[in-house]
Structure 1
Amino acid sequence: MAESSLFIYRHNNQVIYVVLYVDDILLIGTDANLVGEIVHKLNIEFALKTLGSLKYFLGFEVDRNDSSLYMSQAKYDRDLLVKIGMMDSKPCSTLMAVGNKLTFEDSDLFDKPALYRSTIRALQYLTLSRPDIAYYINKLSQLLKAPTQLHWQAYKRLLRYLKGITNFGIPFSKISRFHLGCFTIADWAGNIRDKRSTSGCCLFLGSNLLH
């Protein structure tokens, strides 16, 4: 997916954030009148279709109330399951089999490497709302050069895991004070081939997960 662009519009101490992706535009601000004014000016130059409050944008579904916002990629997830032909598969409660160490020599080569690579890239976008799969996607991405049958089985296990929790996502709630927190973790020489380590981090604004 191509990158989106972020523009910031300031007027009389008010800030409007504009997210632009091809011909999709998202405007975010606290002043509804100013947002309406910007939409009106854009509509003079371009033919616009206003869809109202945010519900769906770039694969993200948004559910909001007065105090919180919930973002998920349920439709994106289901579309991927349909593409692979696993919409009717049995859900799996865990991501990885215990003790499963994937290597380039663990089994015969997978006969559709292009399919493996394209679907792994699709799942990388899903990590934006499902950080719980980020480590697993990182591991599967290290095997893109020569995916094997066991790699593909591991990938399908991941899809079965996602099928059971399609509507999971990330909640964002109002915070009373600006507080950034970061948690980090790392293994030590965890890669069985080259003994490299893998690290990760979670960045929070109050109770809201940002990264």
Structure 2
Amino acid sequence: MKDLGSLSYFLGLEVISTDDGIYLSQAKYASDLFAGAGITDSRTESTLLEPNVRFTPINGTVLDNPTLYRQLVGELIYLTVTRPDIAYLVHVLSQFLSAPRTIYYAVVLCILRYIKGTLFHGLYFSAHSSLSLRAYSDADWAGDPTDRRSTTCYCLFLGYSLISWRAKKQTFTARSSTEAKYRALADTTA
């Protein structure tokens, strides 16, 4: 066995260690993703999506070749390892892998342009933060227009460092916003 020194790059994750903490990023992975998607222009997006946009399986026309869409969504799923800011929208787009449509592909390109503008965003784990564990959860109520199911979102912090997050459609139909939020809280603590 040979000592290769401190970790700097592993499975698409860039690791920068300092005395103050560890920074994780996927900037190189994202740059390779732009090339694969054919995004060569310098245009970027400052936000992911307009608020209150709803996606349904009948928006737009079906893509002739869904392979690129599926590949890009899969790569975006891996990118959520260090980019919790895109987790919810990638979760929504992954629901349309069986019959992707043109409007969803346009949203994928919008996400890629947003990532291009925020390329070096990532996770920072401070060496000096407290060891207090905090959790936040939320849920919409009947947010999916097709099956009326709610979506749970949560994030866990250790000190000031984000250590876990999730966006997931609930497996049942909540009868009230209180029930949806209660289930989100239960999922957070499970």
Specify if TM > 0.5. yes
Find the aligned partners of 2:79 and 2:123 in 1 and give their Cα distance.
12
2:58 maps to: 105
Find the aligned partners of 2:52 and 2:89 in 1 and give their Cα distance.
14
**8 Å Cα contact 2:54/2:144 also seen in 1:** no
Q: What is the deviation of 1:89? A: 4.4
Mapping of 1:119-198 within 5 angstroms? 119-175=72-128, 177-198=130-151
1:63 correspondence with 2:23: no
**3-state SS, counterpart of residue 57 of structure 2:** coil
Quick check: which one's strand share is greater? 1
The superposition leaves residues 177-211 of structure 1 with CA deviations (integer Å, 9 ceiling, x where unpaired) of: 42111100110000011110001110111111101
Change (3 A) 1:51 1:87: farther
**3-state SS, counterpart of residue 185 of structure 1:** strand
Q: What is the deviation of 1:165? A: 0.7
Change (3 A) 1:196 1:67: same
Q: What is the deviation of 1:97? A: 2.9
Change (3 A) 1:102 1:95: same
**8 Å Cα contact 1:93/1:161 also seen in 2:** yes
Greater RCO, CA 8 A, separation 6+: 2
Q: What is the deviation of 1:56? A: 0.7
2:160 maps to: 207
Find the aligned partners of 1:75 and 1:58 in 2 and give their Cα distance.
11
**8 Å Cα contact 1:102/1:150 also seen in 2:** no
Find the aligned partners of 1:147 and 1:176 in 2 and give their Cα distance.
43
2:174 maps to: none
CA RMSD of aligned residues (A): 1.4
Find the aligned partners of 1:200 and 1:159 in 2 and give their Cα distance.
22
**8 Å Cα contact 2:34/2:112 also seen in 1:** yes
**8 Å Cα contact 1:172/1:208 also seen in 2:** yes
Find the aligned partners of 1:160 and 1:200 in 2 and give their Cα distance.
24
**8 Å Cα contact 2:72/2:108 also seen in 1:** no
1:91 maps to: 44
**What percent of counterpart residues are identical?**
44
Find the aligned partners of 2:53 and 2:102 in 1 and give their Cα distance.
14
Q: TM-score scaled to structure 1, two decimals?
A: 0.74
Q: What is the deviation of 1:176? A: 5.5
Mapping of 1:14-93 within 5 angstroms? 43=1, 48=2, 50-93=3-46
**8 Å Cα contact 1:188/1:196 also seen in 2:** yes
Q: TM-score scaled to structure 2, two decimals?
A: 0.82
Which amino acid in the other structure matches residue 78 of structure 1?
S
